[in-house]
Amino acid sequence: MIARRALLCSASVLALPAVVRAQALFTRPVRFVLGFAAGGAGDITVRMLVPHMQAEIGQPIVVDNRPGAGGIISAEAVARAAPDGHTMYLLTTSNMAAPAFYRSMPFDVTRDFAPVGRMVWYDHVIAVNPQLPVNTLTELIAYAKARPGTLNIGSIAVGNAQHLGVELFRAMAGAPMTTVTYRSSPELITALSTGEIQVAGELLAPALPQVQAGRVKLLAVTAPTRFPTLPDVLTSAESGMPDYIVRSWNAIVFPANTPRPQIEAMNRAIRRALGVPEIRNRLIELGGLPEASSPEELGAMIPNEVAAWGRMAQLAGIEKQ
């Protein structure tokens, strides 16, 4: 009789709507840790999606910006957190690139996290200050070679995907420019727009406002195809660098061993948020391409991305610290 009641109880829970089941899984606010300062592409994306994700799980989601060391410090904190579904991390391409920069990592990105789902792809761009008299990558490379050491190319912190993208560009182009790093995307784009640096490699998203204001000029997107809202901006392949393809993405992970029901519930929360037409359109306007994935797809993607960024680091001549 007791077993029969248990079965009936389980059946009744499974019969509840997915939203109700999700709300039963989360009993307090969920901390959402980001490994970078406010104002960047990932931060903007998260703050757009969080209200819709909260509605799915029935609890507040508190964004916790913890910049430093290319996301290593924040990622380690989440990897060591209790696997109870109430701490999650915004995994980014920078986490894939970090093992290429450091001999020792305090966590294993393929082992210490439970994949939840990818959210958005971000194209990288090569951009210049409008006062620089170049309009294409070919012209930029020729200009730099004719004036060795006179151009500064900016990126955000060492160990970041943007930084590796910049070093790969310098190596593949043979362009004698000096790399200057900044703590955050807003600082980098401001430096470019004011002429403190002449060139930058960055995600499209944080650069767009200054591009639209005419204070930054895009030379190329480093993706396989042109960005939908920028049909006149060439790809790197169309600009004479067919092998220079650099894209970023972000996703959500929990600490390893988080229960499967909470993983599935948060994956539904991602899909709910990305399914809102206004959110999708706004992300594209801001330079992102929304594309949700299953936990399994993200889990298969992570080791492949770590290997790919490792190969890029070798091509760029990066020596591990």
Q: What is the pLDDT of residue 153?
A: 97
Domain check: are 206 and 150 in the same one? yes
Q: What is the pLDDT of residue 19?
A: 58
The terminus-to-terminus CA distance of the chain in angstroms comes to 64
Domain check: are 205 and 177 in the same one? yes
Q: What is the pLDDT of residue 205?
A: 87
Domain check: are 116 and 254 in the same one? yes
Judge whether 11 lies within some domain: no
Q: What is the CATH number of the domain that holds 146?
A: 3.40.190.10
Domain check: are 165 and 58 in the same one? no
Q: What is the pLDDT of residue 3?
A: 41
Domain check: are 130 and 229 in the same one? yes
Q: What is the pLDDT of residue 11?
A: 43
Domain check: are 138 and 225 in the same one? yes
Domain check: are 154 and 139 in the same one? yes
Q: What is the pLDDT of residue 17?
A: 57
Q: What is the pLDDT of residue 94?
A: 86
Q: At what angle do helices 295-316 and 161-173 cross, to 10 degrees?
A: 40
d(Cα 267, Cα 293) in Å, to the nearest integer? Answer: 8
Judge whether 41 lies within some domain: yes
Yes or no: say if 187 and 160 are a contact pair by the CB < 8 Å rule. Answer: no
pTM: 0.83
Judge whether 16 lies within some domain: no
Domain boundary among 209, 239, 269: 239
> Structural domain tally of the chain?
2
Domain boundaries, position 106: 30-121+248-316
Judge whether 13 lies within some domain: no
Instruction: Please report, in tens digits, the pLDDT of each residue of the chain (321 residues total).
Output: 444 443 443 444 444 555 566 678 999 999 999 998 887 778 889 999 999 999 999 999 999 999 877 788 999 999 999 999 999 999 999 899 888 888 899 999 999 999 999 999 999 999 999 999 999 999 999 999 999 999 999 998 777 888 899 999 999 999 899 999 998 888 999 999 999 999 999 999 889 999 999 999 999 999 999 999 999 999 999 999 999 999 999 999 999 999 999 999 999 999 999 999 999 999 998 889 999 999 999 999 999 999 999 998 888 888 888
Domain boundary among 197, 222, 239: 239
Please classify residue 103 by burial: count the beta carbons closer than 10 Å to its beta carbon, then call 0-12 exposed, 13-18 middle and 19+ buried.
Answer: exposed
Judge whether 265 lies within some domain: yes
Judge whether 22 lies within some domain: no
Judge whether 4 lies within some domain: no
Judge whether 155 lies within some domain: yes
Q: Which of 129, 204, 172, 175 lies closest to 313 in space, CA to CA?
A: 172
Domain check: are 140 and 157 in the same one? yes
Parallel/antiparallel/unpaired status of strands 152-156 and 199-203: parallel
Domain check: are 255 and 116 in the same one? yes
Domain check: are 146 and 233 in the same one? yes
Domain check: are 43 and 99 in the same one? yes
Domain boundary among 185, 212, 239: 239
Domain check: are 80 and 145 in the same one? no
Instruction: Kindly report the backbone phi and psi dihedral angles of residue 43, in degrees, each rounded to the nearest multiple of 5, phi listed first.
Output: -65, -45
Q: What is the CATH number of the domain that holds 47?
A: 3.40.190.150
| Side-chain-side CA neighbours of residue 68 (13 Å) | 9
- What is the three-state SS of the chain? CHHHHHHHHHHHHHHCCHHHHHHHHCCCCEEEEECCCCCCHHHHHHHHHHHHHHHHHCCCEEEEECCCHHHHHHHHHHHCCCCCCCEEEEEEHHHHHHHHCCCCCCCCCCCCEEEEEEEEEEEEEEEECCCCCCCCHHHHHHHHHHCCCCCEEEEECCCCHHHHHHHHHHHHHCCCCEEEEECCHHHHHHHHHHCCCCEEEEEHHHHHHHHHCCCCEEEEECCCCCCCCCCCCCECCCCCCCCCCCEEEEEEEEECCCCHHHHHHHHHHHHHHHCCHHHHHHHHHCCEEECCCCHHHHHHHHHHHHHHHHHHHHHHCCCCC
